[in-house]
Each structure stands twice: as structure tokens, then as C-alpha cells.
């Protein structure tokens, strides 16, 4: 029972219901995953925007601080111009003043005062050698503009630190330039100060003028400051867009978010940018994503596990049960049912429908068995009746022989022993009795032979029909040496059948041909054969007296004759026997003829070795 | 009832057939050596009693002509008893019956028949057949008792 229908899906095959359930669950998880990722990207974009806004704010703040510092410086210098030490160009007094200021303002690296010819007459911190600043750009610039000048960042001569020089002219009331004051704004201090205002680690600060010259860079100011870098992507964007946000990577490879803005001093434009590392900006969001994904994974695992066991409990188990019951049913246990209570839903409906189907099958099976039983009973009855009939006809034929032998014997004894007491008429009568008894004996013999045919078992073998026909024909010729016979046996295809019985068929057909050609001077008898698709056909044709076709169907009936016995002797059993033998080989017989012109009798044998068996009474 | 020293035991219930057989044997001058049993029981009695109290063989018996359809005990049973008994096994048994049935022939030989002859219906043939049987089994055939 398991051999043919074993297509049971393995536990893990894609066709399994369990995996389908899990697949559905996973399908439901996919939108959640999408949502999580979408939310992450949203937050990221938000974070970018926020970081950039922050950067802009910081830059603005930085600009503001710087502006404030410049204004403070300006005020400081304004104040200095009112002081007597400065007005009188008192080196010692100035030195003292400057030292005190620097002490209190760590954003200034140094303070100097110089004559208009560039000779420094006071500086703090102090220096032993005399300084001359007339070659400095900021000095030339302040001589020319008579206004506060912010120079280019440089390493201060006095402090030795990286500073932004700021110079201021001192004029007498007539407007004559009497001295130049200068200080260095400590850029490193400035950078540190700004970055300490709350920017994340590894943030960067960049400041340029409108030509793209780096005014300030933190960290590593010494590497960049003072260089013209208008082609740097960050600087380029900054100068062209004035204010905004951008992403970019600096030479170090760290990806940053930059916020940039423009600010101006009294006579110059500057650009400043703050870069915040992206990984810092995204750290929280990335953590949140990881956490969310972890939760989602845990939930998915939970749900999948639930689906696995739930699927087993609610889907696979009922189906397995149904499958088992189906297999039992297929194996022939028609009484098997899934049985109530039925679950609700499709599984329950399926189980209930299955039970109803099994009911229907069982009922039909019962009816079928009843019908088969009835049929079998009838068949047995029929068989019994058939056997009884066979036995009856046999017994009749058999038991008729004994009295017949008696009649024949004693009439003959009468003739032998009392011939002298009988007259001619008496002797004639006794002779008639004798010949009639002979006929009756023949009739009984043929009847017995016919009856035997019904019971005889057929033993099919391969037959060489040419040989068989030749043997039969030779026997016939020997039996009628006085006749002028022309028996032609054409090439005959082989056949399969019972040798004894098929020989009987040929004997009867050829015997008939011989008999009914008796009136002819020359008897021409032809045996032909033809192999067709499903059967082989053999025919015996003669040039005898023939028959009327309208009687053709009667030819094969028992004891049926178309000619008076006085003309052609015989019992009328020959063709009946032929028909019986051929039918038992599942073949056909037929005859055709024309009065005075001859007859042709044919029989066919199936090519498949199909022969019926004697019906057995014992069969179930 | 015993064999009275007969050479032939004819087991036959049909008196007409008995008469015909005897007539045929008469023509061969063998009729006086025939003893007739009318049924199977009588036949067995004759065969097994003829040896007398000594239980010896029916001395002169040279052949049994046995019909198959017999009252009381059938021809097959008679045949079986004769052939199963050591002292009678050697007696030739010729089944002489109206039945040309294959099954009857086979069964007879299975039980040990020495010959099987179908009674011809026609008188001449019948007479000839019985005459041949008589001359063969009595004159030509040799049994060990001689």
C-alpha cells in the first residue's frame, strides 16, 4: 500500500505546510523590517540635518566670538591710544601696561608698539633684541589705511606661537601717525575655546578668506594655515554657497558633516566651517537601529517557533491524521473514519467531508459486493445447470448405446439363427433395422463427441497449418482412392491452438468438401490462409454442389442438414463441431456458397493465444 | 458362489450384453470357460473366495472382463481392490465398457487396468472385439500360473 503513493513531503521540503506557515509569518515580518530600516534612514536624515544645523549655529557662534574678539581688540587699542604711556611713547610704561594686559587675556600672545618707521619700542613679553616690523604686511597695511588691520596668520616673532596679527594706528590730534600698536590673537587658544563649547570629539574648524586662503584650521593649523586652497571641495562649496550644510571627507578620510557660514570683519569677508564626524553624529541612531533589529530578530524567532509548533499542532497533525486514515482507506479498511468532534474551519470541514466520502465509498462497496455475490451465485447456478446439462446429454448418449447394442445384436442373432424361418420381407425388415441402428450409433457417437468438446480442456500449441492440412488431406485421399481429387494447399500462416481439435476442424471441413464434390468428375479443393492484423483466417473451398446462401446461418446448427441423407451421408454434426471448436478458440466461422458451383468455409483464430477455459464451479 | 475353475470372469449387469459376450466367445469355443458376476459385490466375492480357505489364487482365472457401471460396487472399486491385493494383482483386468470418456480411461489405467476396450455398438464389431479379446487373453497371453 505504501509503494505507489509515497509522496509524503519531508519535514523541511518547501511543499510542507509547516514551512508554508513559517514563510507566511516571515512575510509578515518583512514590512516590520522595512519600517525599521525606513525609520532608521529617516532618523539618519534628520540627524544629518540636525548636525548641519548645529554646525551652522556653531560657526555663527564662532564668527560671533571672533567678531567680539576683534571688537574687544579694537576697543583695547582705542583705549591704549588715550593712555599717556602710549601717547608719549614711554617704552617702560608701555611694557608694563602690555605685560599686565597679556597676563589677564590669554587670547593675546603678545603686544607691541612701534614707531612709524617700524622700530619696536615696547613689547610684551619682553625681548632683548630690537625688533623692526616695517616689512610686515600688516604694518604696511596699517600705515596705508590708518585703520585697524587684521593680518594674515603667522608665527609671532615675540611669542613664537601661531597667531592672527592685529595692528592699530596711533594718531595725534592733527592726524599724524605717531605709532603702531599690534597684538597677536592666539589661534590655537581660539580653536580650543570654540571646540570646548560642546562640539563632539574629532570635530574640525576651518576658516578662510574670500580668496580661499586658509585663515584658520583646527586641529593641525600649521599644516594648512596660510595656504591657498580654493580647489578644496569644502572650501569651494563654502565660498560659492556662503551659508549652508554639506557632507565631505577631509584628507584624513574621516567622513564629516560640515556646517558653514560667512561673516565679516570691518574690511574683510571670512568663511568658517565646523565639521562633525558622521559616526559621532550617527552613533545614537546606529545603536538604536541595532537594538531595533535585535528586538525584531527576537520577535521573529519567537513567532517562527510558535508557527513551527503551532503549525505542527493545528495544521500538520490533523493533516497527518487525515493522511493516515486515507492510507488505511486505500489499503481497504473501508470502516476507518477521522471521526468527530470535528474542528472548526477548513480542517474540520475536510475531515467531515472525508468521512462522508468514506461512508459513500463503503456503501458503494457493500452494494458492489452484494451485486458481485449475487452475480457469483447466479454464475454458480449457471455452471451447475450447464454441468447438469452436459452430464445429462452425456448420460443420455451413453446410456442409449447399451439398448441400441441390444437391439442391433439380437436382431442380428435373429437373422443369423432363424434366417430359414423368415421370408424375404422379414429379412428386409431386419436389414433396415440393422442400418438404422448403425445411423443411430453414429448420431450418438457424434453427440458424445460434441458434448465432450464442451468439457475438453484446450491445450494451445504453435501449429504448422500447412503440415496439418497436408496430413488431413493425405488421410482423406487414402480413404477415397476411387475419387479424382485435386487438393491444393496454398502457403498457410502458422496458428496457435489445440492440435487435436484444429485437426478435427480441418478434417471436418475437408471431409465435407470431399463429400459434397462426389457428383463431380474432378473434385477441386483448395485450402488458403491469410494472416490479418488480429487474426488468421483459413478457408476450404470446393467445386461441389454448394448451397443456398439463405440457409447459411443454419449450417452450423446441431444435426442440421441441407441435403437429404440419402444423397450425402452424415449426421449433420460436422459443422456444429467445427463451430464449437473454433468458438472455444475465440475464433469465428462462416460459410458461403452457390448451388451447383461450390462452397467455401472459413474459420479464424485470434493471434493472441486466447482460449477459454472450462468454466470452473469452484471459482470464487 | 465361486469361479468353478473358469478362465474368464465377466462382470456385467446388462443381461443382453452378457448374452452377446457369451455368443461371441462361443464362436471361439471359449464360452464354457466363462463365469458371470452381475454386480461388483458378486465379482469381489467370487475372486476372493475362489482360493478357498487356503486363501490362494483363483487358479485358472486368466482374465477379468470388467464393466464400469455396476450396481452396488462400481467397476473402479472392484479394479482397485484387485490391484491392491498382492495375490490378485497379477490377474489381467480388461475394462469393457460403453464409455469412451477420457477420464474413465485415465482412471482405469491409474488403478492398474491392463486394457481398456469400448464396446462397439454395431453387432459385427462387437462380436469381433470380444472374440479378439478372448483369443488374445486366453490363448495368446501367458500368465505366471501356468
> Exposed e or buried b for every residue in A331-351, given b needs 16+ CB within 10 A?
eeebebbbeeebeeeebeebb
pLDDT digits (tens, 9 = 90+) for A111-140: 888 888 878 888 777 766 677 777 877 888
Q: Is the peptide bond before A147 cis (omega within 30 degrees of 0)?
A: no
pLDDT value, residue A106: 78
pLDDT value, residue B79: 94
Task: Tell me whether residues B121 and A398 touch, CB distance under 8 A.
Answer: no
The H-or-E segment that residue A600 falls in is strand A598-606
Kindly list the residues from chain A whose CB atom is less than 8 angstroms away from the CB atom of residue B126: 405, 409
Task: Tell me whether residues A412 and B100 touch, CB distance under 8 A.
Answer: no
Kindly list the residues from chain A whose CB atom is less than 8 angstroms away from the CB atom of residue B17: 402, 405-406
Q: Give how far Cα A575 sits from Cα of A496, A508, A585, A605, B96, Å.
A: 21, 7, 15, 16, 31
pLDDT category, B3, cuts 50, 70, 90?
low
pTM for this prediction: 0.46
Cα–Cα dist A225/A58, whole Å: 20
Closest Cβ–Cβ partner in B101, B102, B119 for A405? B119
Yes or no: say if A58 and A259 are a contact pair by the CB < 8 Å rule: yes
- What 3-state class would DSSP assign to A568? coil
Yes or no: say if B138 and B91 are a contact pair by the CB < 8 Å rule: no
DSSP sequence for A426-486: HHHHHHHHHHHHHHHHHHHHHHHHHHHHHHPPP-EEEE-HHHHHHHHHHHHHHH-TTS-EE
Task: Tell me whether residues B16 and A405 touch, CB distance under 8 A.
Answer: yes
Residues 37-56 of A with CB under 8 A from B: none
pLDDT value, residue A6: 47
> Closest residue of B to A457, CA-based?
B102
Kindly compute the dihedral angle of the four CA atoms of residues A366, A372, A378, A379, in this order, to the nearest 10 degrees: -160
Give the residue among A495, A496, A497 at the shortest CA–CA distance from A457.
A497
Task: Tell me whether residues A401 and B119 touch, CB distance under 8 A.
Answer: yes
Cα A527–Cα A532–Cα A534 angle in degrees, nearest 5: 125
pLDDT at B16 exceeding the cut of 80: yes
Task: Give the strand pairing for A108-114 and B63-66.
Answer: unpaired
Q: Which residues 6+ apart lie within 8 Å of B78 measured at CB?
A: B11, B40, B43, B44, B66, B70
Q: Give how far Cα A198 sits from Cα of A60, A67, A192, A525, B40, Å.
A: 14, 20, 11, 132, 140
Interface residue A439 vs chain B (CB under 8 A): no
Using H for helix, E for strand and C for coil, what is the string for chain B?
CCCCCCCEEEECCCHHHHHHHHHHHHCCCCHHHEEEECCHHHHHHHHHHCCCCCCCCCCCCCEEEECCCCCCCCHHHHHHHHHHCCCCCCCCEEEEECCCCHHHHHHHHHHCCCEEEECCCCHHHHHHHHHHHHHHHHHHCCCCCC
Query: Can you read off the three cell numbers belonging to residue B91?
Result: 490377474
Closest Cβ–Cβ partner in B19, B98, B102 for A401? B98
- What 3-state class would DSSP assign to A137? helix
pLDDT at B50 exceeding the cut of 70: no
Residue ranges in chain A modelled with pLDDT below 70: 1-15, 51-52, 55, 59, 62, 127-129, 155-160, 194-195, 197-201, 221-222, 250-253, 263-268, 609-620
Please compute, for residue A234, the number of CA atoms within 13 A of its CA located in the half-sphere on the CB side: 25
Interface residue B87 vs chain A (CB under 8 A): no
Closest Cβ–Cβ partner in B23, B100, B122 for A438? B122
Cα–Cα dist B56/B87, whole Å: 7
Cα–Cα dist A132/A119, whole Å: 5
Task: Tell me whether residues B122 and A406 touch, CB distance under 8 A.
Answer: no
Yes or no: say if A239 and A258 are a contact pair by the CB < 8 Å rule: no
Q: Residue A515's CB: how many other CB atoms inside 10 A?
A: 20
Kindly list the residues from chain A whose CB atom is less than 8 angstroms away from the CB atom of residue B101: 394, 452
Query: Can you read off the three cell numbers belonging to residue A504?
Result: 478435427
Task: Tell me whether residues A404 and B17 touch, CB distance under 8 A.
Answer: no
Q: Is the peptide bond before A219 cis (omega within 30 degrees of 0)?
A: yes
pLDDT digits (tens, 9 = 90+) for B122-137: 888 899 999 999 889 9
Cα–Cα dist A261/A269, whole Å: 11
Query: Can you read off the three cell numbers belonging to residue A483?
Result: 475419387
Q: Which residues 6+ apart lie within 8 Å of A364 measured at CB?
A: none
Closest Cβ–Cβ partner in B16, B99, B100 for A409? B16
Q: Choose from A387, A390, A405 for mutation: most chain B CBs within 10 A.
A: A405
Task: Tell me whether residues A412 and B99 touch, CB distance under 8 A.
Answer: no
pLDDT digits (tens, 9 = 90+) for B86-114: 888 888 999 999 888 888 899 999 999 99
DSSP letter, residue A566: T
Sign of the Cα torsion A449, A451, A457, A458 reads positive
Q: B10 forms bridges with which residues in the sheet?
A: B36, B65
Cα–Cα dist B80/B44, whole Å: 11
pLDDT value, residue A472: 92
The H-or-E segment that residue A599 falls in is strand A598-606
Sheet holding A589-594, edge to edge: A485-489, A523-531, A535-542, A598-606, A589-594
Yes or no: say if A97 and A76 are a contact pair by the CB < 8 Å rule: no
Place of cell 457369451: B22
The dihedrals phi and psi of B95, each to the nearest 5 degrees, come to: -80, 120
Please compute, for residue A377, the number of CA atoms within 13 A of its CA located in the half-sphere on the CB side: 6
Query: Can you read off the three cell numbers belonging to residue A31?
Result: 514590512
Place of cell 477415397: A480
Q: Residue B70's CB: how many other CB atoms inside 10 A?
A: 24
Angle of helix A346-417 relative to helix A317-331, nearest 10 degrees, comes to: 0
Cα–Cα dist A575/A590, whole Å: 10
The dihedrals phi and psi of A489, each to the nearest 5 degrees, come to: -105, 110
Kindly compute the dihedral angle of the four CA atoms of residues B53, B58, B59, B62, in this order, to the nearest 10 degrees: 180
Query: Can you read off the three cell numbers belonging to residue A127?
Result: 625681548
Angle of helix A465-479 relative to helix A499-516, nearest 10 degrees, comes to: 40
Amino acid at each position: 500500500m505504501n509503494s505507489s503513493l509515497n509522496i509524503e513531503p519531508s519535514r523541511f521540503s518547501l511543499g510542507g505546510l509547516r514551512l508554508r506557515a513559517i514563510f507566511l509569518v516571515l512575510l509578515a515580518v518583512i514590512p516590520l523590517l522595512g519600517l525599521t530600516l525606513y525609520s532608521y534612514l529617516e532618523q539618519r536624515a534628520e540627524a544629518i540635518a540636525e548636525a548641519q544645523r548645529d554646525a551652522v549655529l556653531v560657526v555663527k557662534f564662532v564668527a560671533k566670538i571672533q567678531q567680539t574678539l576683534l571688537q574687544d581688540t579694537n576697543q583695547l587699542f582705542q583705549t591704549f591710544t588715550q593712555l599717556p604711556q602710549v601717547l608719549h611713547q614711554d617704552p617702560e610704561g608701555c611694557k608694563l601696561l602690555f605685560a599686565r594686559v597679556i597676563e589677564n587675556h590669554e587670547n593675546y600672545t603678545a603686544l607691541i608698539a612701534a614707531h612709524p618707521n617700524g622700530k619696536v619700542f615696547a613689547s610684551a613679553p619682553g625681548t632683548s633684541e630690537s625688533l623692526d616690523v616695517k616689512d610686515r604686511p600688516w604694518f604696511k597695511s596699517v600705515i596705508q589705511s590708518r585703520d585697524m588691520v587684521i593680518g594674515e596668520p603667522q608665527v609671532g616673532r615675540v611669542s613664537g606661537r601661531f597667531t592672527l596679527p592685529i595692528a592699530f594706528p596711533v594718531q595725534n590730534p592733527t592726524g599724524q601717525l605717531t605709532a603702531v600698536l599690534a597684538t597677536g590673537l592666539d589661534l590655537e587658544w581660539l580653536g580650543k575655546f570654540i571646540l570646548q563649547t560642546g562640539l563632539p570629539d574629532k570635530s574640525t574648524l576651518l576658516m578662510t578668506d574670500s580668496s580661499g586662503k586658509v585663515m584658520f584650521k583646527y586641529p593641525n593649523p600649521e599644516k594648512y594655515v596660510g595656504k591657498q586652497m580654493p580647489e578644496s571641495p569644502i572650501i569651494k562649496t563654502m565660498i560659492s554657497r556662503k551659508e549652508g550644510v554639506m557632507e565631505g571627507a577631509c584628507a584624513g578620510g574621516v567622513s564629516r558633516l560640515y556646517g558653514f557660514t560667512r561673516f565679516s570683519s570691518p574690511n574683510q569677508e571670512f568663511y568658517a566651517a565646523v565639521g562633525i564626524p558622521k559616526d559621532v553624529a550617527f552613533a545614537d541612531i546606529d545603536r538604536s537601529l541595532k537594538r531595533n533589529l535585535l528586538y525584531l530578530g527576537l520577535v521573529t524567532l519567537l513567532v517562527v517557533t510558535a508557527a513551527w509548533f503551532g503549525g505542527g499542532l493545528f495544521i500538520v497533525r490533523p493533516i497527518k491524521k487525515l493522511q493516515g486514515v486515507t492510507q488505511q482507506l486505500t489499503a481497504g479498511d473501508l470502516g476507518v473514519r477521522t471521526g468527530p468532534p470535528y474542528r472548526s474551519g477548513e480542517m474540520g470541514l475536510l475531515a467531515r467531508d472525508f468521512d462522508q466520502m468514506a461512508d459513500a465509498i463503503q456503501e458503494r462497496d457493500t452494494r458492489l459486493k452484494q451485486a458481485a455475490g449475487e452475480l457469483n451465485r447466479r454464475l454458480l447456478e449457471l455452471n451447475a445447470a450447464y454441468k447438469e446439462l452436459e452430464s445429462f446429454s452425456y448420460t443420455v448418449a451413453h446410456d442409449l448405446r447399451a439398448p441400441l447394442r441390444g437391439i442391433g445384436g439380437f436382431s442380428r442373432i435373429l437373422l443369423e439363427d432363424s434366417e430359414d424361418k423368415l421370408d424375404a420381407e422379414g429379412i428386409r425388415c431386419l436389414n433396415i433395422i440393422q442400418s438404422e441402428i448403425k445411423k443411430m450409433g453414429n448420431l450418438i457417437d457424434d453427440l458424445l463427441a460434441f458434448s465432450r468438446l464442451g468439457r475438453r480442456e484446450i491445450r494451445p500449441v504453435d501449429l504448422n497449418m500447412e503440415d496439418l492440412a497436408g496430413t488431413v488431406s493425405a488421410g482423406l485421399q487414402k480413404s477415397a482412392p476411387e475419387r479424382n481429387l485435386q487438393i491444393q494447399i496454398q502457403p498457410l500462416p502458422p496458428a496457435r491452438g489445440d492440435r487435436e481439435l484444429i485437426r478435427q476442424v480441418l478434417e471436418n471441413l475437408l471431409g465435407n468438401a470431399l463429400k459434397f464434390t462426389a457428383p463431380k468428375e474432378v473434385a477441386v479443393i483448395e485450402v488458403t490462409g491469410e494472416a490479418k492484423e488480429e487474426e488468421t483466417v483459413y478457408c476450404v473451398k470446393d467445386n461441389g454442389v454448394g448451397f443456398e446462401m439463405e440457409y447459411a446461418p443454419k449450417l452450423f446448427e446441431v444435426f442440421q442438414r441441407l441435403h437429404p441423407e440419402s444423397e450425402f451421408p452424415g449426421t449433420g454434426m460436422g459443422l456444429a463441431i467445427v463451430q464449437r471448436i473454433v468458438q472455444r478458440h475465440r475464433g469465428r466461422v462462416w460459410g458461403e456458397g452457390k448451388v451447383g458451383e461450390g462452397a467455401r468455409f472459413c474459420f479464424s483464430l485470434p493471434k493472441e493465444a486466447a482460449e477459454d477455459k472450462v468454466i470452473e464451479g469452484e471459482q470464487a | 458362489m465361486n469361479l468353478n475353475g473358469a478362465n474368464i470372469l465377466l462382470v456385467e449387469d446388462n443381461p443382453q450384453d452378457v448374452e452377446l459376450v457369451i455368443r461371441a466367445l462361443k464362436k471361439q469355443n471359449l464360452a464354457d470357460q466363462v463365469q458371470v458376476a452381475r454386480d461388483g459385490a458378486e465379482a469381489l466375492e467370487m475372486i476372493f473366495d475362489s482360493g478357498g480357505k487356503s486363501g490362494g489364487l483363483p487358479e485358472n482365472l486368466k482374465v477379468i472382463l470388467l464393466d464400469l457401471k455396476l450396481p452396488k460396487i462400481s467397476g473402479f472399486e472392484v479394479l482397485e481392490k484387485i490391484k491392491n491385493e498382492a495375490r490378485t494383482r497379477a490377474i489381467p483386468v480388461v475394462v469393457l465398457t460403453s464409455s469412451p470418456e477420457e477420464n474413465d480411461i485415465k482412471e482405469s489405467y491409474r488403478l492398474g487396468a491392463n486394457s481398456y476396450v469400448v464396446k462397439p455398438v454395431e453387432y459385427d464389431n462387437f462380436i469381433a472385439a470380444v472374440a479378439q479379446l478372448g483369443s488374445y487373453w486366453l490363448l495368446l497371453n501367458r500368465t505366471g500360473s501356468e
